[in-house]
Amino acid sequence: MIKITYREAVRAGLREALQKDPRVFLMGEDVGRYGGTYACSHGLLEEFGPERVRDTPLSESVFVGAGIGAALGGLRPIVEVMTVNFSLLALDQIVNNAATIRHMSGGQFSIPLVVRMATGGGRQVAAQHSHSFEGWYAHIPGITVLTPATVTDARGMLLAALHEPDPVFIFEHAYLYPMEGELEEEAGAVDISKAVVRRRGRDVTIITFGGSLWKSLEAADRLAAEGIEAEVVDLRVLRPLDGATVLASVKKTHRAVIVDEAWRSGSFAAEVSAQIMEGGFYDLDGPVARVCSAEVPLPYPKHLEDAALPSVGSIVQAVRSMQGA
């Protein structure tokens, strides 16, 4: 095992992909000379050259579209969008081209494209750069949506995504980049079709993904000190959603709390809640609860940002309320 940060794990995945497959190239804003906004591509330009690590203009629609074209032409592009809010400028390319070309061509063309982007709040970058739009993308048929929360997944999901014939969108919570974790030296691609139970429990299931995983695990530890054993399910893959793992856990614990950093209204948490009600209603001992961000643009001041985001305390309180505490 080696100790490594989340950003180093992403970089290791990028380096391995570039080394192993000459069709792979990385492009995006500041990925080359600057080394990446979050230092995930630091040193790769010097190692692989400007043909494989390409700085792009500040035009998301153009370089995401170029990635789609390169994928159609037989390459394996990895497109980095600096933050999730900037991806909105490329929605036409994503929704109307990347997600639909296989369907509209009758299966004649595929788009083996990987798009990575930073997501999430908690870093005092204000309302425009703190969105959590993973649930929006999970609404779109034709793409896969991944939310790696561990160093193993940060590296392994990228490697797995490059073997997919259709577009894969990877949402890396920016708060995780400096986080350290252990990675097996021989670790390779990971399964990008399954959720993972990160902590076993018997009293309640906490369902989450991305940056909220670590808050949920800390909340589970606090609850354990009170005699409440929470099971924590890391969804990891939002589309296609592994509903079977979620329902199996709820069947065991009979209670569910969903933690999602997006706004509550129309959130991915609402979709998970609906699937639990449809597939596991008679296993529940009470209503499904959701812990989401406040219905406001995320504030810049630290104390207000913390108040608006899901917290360890708000997760603990949601579980206590279920238990009648």
Select which of 29, 60, 172, 271 is catalytic.
60
Residue 139's nearest CA partner among 240, 279, 280 is 240
Task: Give the DSSP per-residue string, 172-202.
Answer: EEGGGTT-EEEE-TT-----SS--EEEE--S
296 near 305, Cβ under 8 Å?
A: no
Catalytic, 295? Answer no
Catalytic, 8? Answer no
Residue 79's nearest CA partner among 29, 27, 144 is 27
Task: Produce one character per residue of 38-73: b if its CB has 16 or more CB atoms within 10 Å, e if not.
Answer: bbbbeebbeebeeebbbbbeeebeebbbbbbebbbe
Backbone angles phi, psi at 291, to 5 degrees: -120, 110
14 near 48, Cβ under 8 Å?
A: no
Select which of 8, 29, 80, 129 is catalytic.
129
Residue 71's nearest CA partner among 33, 112, 39, 99 is 112
111 near 72, Cβ under 8 Å?
A: yes
Q: Mind telling me the catalytic residues?
A: 60, 129
